[in-house]
């Protein structure tokens, strides 16, 4: 598949041809755990055992690499398994720069599993380049970026942070779960690794858990990630890979819908007297808007609001919605609302009056009508 092709075309055709054995236009699901060896001891198909490699996983990885413009990809059983593979590919004693506003589970992974294993880390405001520069140490080997961040939608300048990382001899990894490769392409901006919770927009229907790492270069660091995938064993099932591939075919169109809807909803909320703040990078008033406009193609379907009246009123608004579903997670066709601080629990730095919204593919006027009635006192 030519890298020159448009992303809509790549999403449908990359990594995929009709099944040579049957002519099936869509891939069969290869549930077999083991593959036949020829009389001479070789493996004519290239497949040996499904933990090491599986045709559905192979197809998913090829498609993900094409969509992110990467050299290779490794698919995992969850977003956190993919994040953990990047951390584990470092060495004990290495230092990681980590953002202050970030997916909460990634922070727990670093604090509760990787720090005891020997990784050192500093928490830094990734939206402040001087703070990033000042936090670099001689042992810094990885700078972790999540932009827009979770749940405050802070914007990090990927090109600038990648440059700081490279000058320090470190890699720059970007959690690209929220924008998806349709909204933002970190490798083209200079990042070395992209991580996805495929659970979210790439899956798109809230029915599959998965993760992936995509790399600009298939170097020795990626070989370690591949080893962690195949020997660590946190691989996705063939069915999960097949579901993800099915979803990826429509990703460009879903992302346009999510983003257009979120922009409408954000503009409505920005004018609403019961809302103290709207965090959405598509709003010209957002402090990261200029950087976002430069590095994003779409601003995505996620936004958060701070409700006037504190935590009680935030909970009351969440209790009054009818079309939005009160649930964690994001990226599905259905709109979700969540009081984020109570999900994050101890260690949360999320404001108590914050509600996080995953804007789905319903008609935006229906979403706005639901929020209007929920915000009315």
Ligand X SMILES: *Cc1c(COP(=O)(O)O)cnc(C)c1O
Preceding amide of 148 cis, omega within 30: yes
Q: Which of 147, 199, 237, 335 binds ligand X (CB under 6 A)?
A: 199
Q: Which of 313, 333, 337, 340 is nearest to 324 (CA)?
A: 337
Residue 227's H or E segment, with its range, is: helix 220-232
Residue 116, number of CB atoms within 10 A of its CB: 8
Residue span binding ligand X (CB under 6 A) among the ranges 13-21, 75-83, 282-290, 310-318: 75-83
Q: Which of 55, 107, 211, 301 binds ligand X (CB under 6 A)?
A: 211
The count of residues interacting with ligand X (CB under 6 A) is 16
Binding mask 220-259 for ligand X (x = CB under 6 A): ----------------------------------------
CA pair distance 84, 117, nearest whole angstrom: 12
CA pair distance 179, 321, nearest whole angstrom: 25
**Contacts of ligand X in 107-146 (CB under 6 A):** 146
Q: Which of 79, 204, 301, 332 binds ligand X (CB under 6 A)?
A: 79
Cβ pair 211, 197 in contact under 8 A = yes
Q: Which is nearer to ligand X, 197 or 215 (CB)?
A: 197
Backbone angles phi, psi at 34, to 5 degrees: -140, 155
**Contacts of ligand X in 92-111 (CB under 6 A):** 103, 105-106
- The answer to whether 209 contacts ligand X (rule: CB under 6 A) is yes
Enzyme catalytic residues: 51, 103, 175, 200
- The answer to whether 340 contacts ligand X (rule: CB under 6 A) is no
**Contacts of ligand X in 153-182 (CB under 6 A):** 175, 177-178
CA pair distance 103, 241, nearest whole angstrom: 23
> Taking CB positions, which residue lies at the least distance from ligand X?
79
Report, in Å, the least distance between residue 23 CB and ligand X.
Answer: 35
Q: Which token pair is 163? A: 């440059």
Q: Write the DSSP assignment of 79-122 as a string of letters.
A: HHHHHHHHHHTS-TT-EEEEESS--HHHHHIIIIIIHHHT-EEE
Q: Which is nearer to ligand X, 358 or 375 (CB)?
A: 358
Report, in Å, the least distance between residue 62 CB and ligand X.
Answer: 21
The site for ligand X (CB under 6 A) is made up of 78-80, 103, 105-106, 146, 150, 175, 177-178, 197, 199-200, 209, 211
């Amino acid at each position: 598949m030519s890298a020159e092709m448009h992303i809509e075309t790549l999403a449908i055709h990359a990594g995929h041809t009709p099944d040579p054995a049957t002519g099936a236009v869509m891939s069969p699901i290869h549930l077999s755990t083991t593959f036949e060896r020829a009389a001479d001891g070789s493996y004519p198909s290239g497949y040996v055992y499904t933990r090491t490699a599986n045709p559905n996983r192979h197809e998913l990885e090829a498609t993900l690499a094409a969509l992110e413009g990467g050299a290779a990809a490794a698919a995992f059983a969850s977003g956190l398994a993919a994040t953990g593979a990047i951390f584990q590919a470092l060495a004990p004693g290495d230092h990681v720069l980590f953002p202050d506003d970030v997916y909460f589970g990634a922070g727990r992974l670093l604090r509760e599993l990787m720090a005891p294993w020997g990784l050192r880390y500093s928490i830094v405001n990734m939206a402040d380049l001087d703070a990033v520069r000042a936090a670099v140490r001689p042992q810094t080997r990885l700078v972790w970026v999540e932009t827009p961040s979770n749940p405050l939608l802070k914007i990090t300048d990927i090109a600038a942070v990648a440059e700081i990382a490279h000058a320090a001899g470190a890699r720059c990894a970007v959690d690209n779960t929220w924008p998806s490769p349709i909204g933002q392409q970190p490798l083209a901006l200079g990042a070395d690794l992209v991580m996805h919770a495929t659970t979210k927009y790439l899956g798109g229907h809230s029915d599959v858990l998965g993760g992936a790492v995509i790399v600009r270069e298939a170097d020795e660091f990626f070989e370690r990630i591949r080893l962690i995938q195949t020997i660590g064993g946190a691989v996705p099932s063939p069915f999960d890979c097949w579901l993800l591939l099915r979803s990826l075919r429509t990703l460009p169109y879903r992302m346009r819908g999510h983003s257009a809807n979120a922009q409408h909803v954000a503009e409505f909320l920005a004018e609403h007297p019961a809302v103290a703040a709207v965090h959405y990078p598509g709003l010209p008033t957002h402090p990261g808007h200029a950087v976002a406009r430069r590095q994003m193609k779409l601003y995505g379907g996620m936004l958060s609001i701070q409700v006037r009246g504190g935590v009680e009123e935030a909970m009351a608004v969440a209790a009054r919605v009818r079309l939005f579903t009160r649930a964690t997670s994001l990226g599905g066709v259905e709109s979700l609302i969540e009081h984020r601080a109570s999900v994050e629990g101890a260690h949360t730095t999320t404001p108590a009056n914050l509600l996080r919204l995953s804007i789905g593919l319903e008609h935006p006027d229906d979403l706005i009508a639901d929020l209007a009635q929920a915000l009315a006192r």
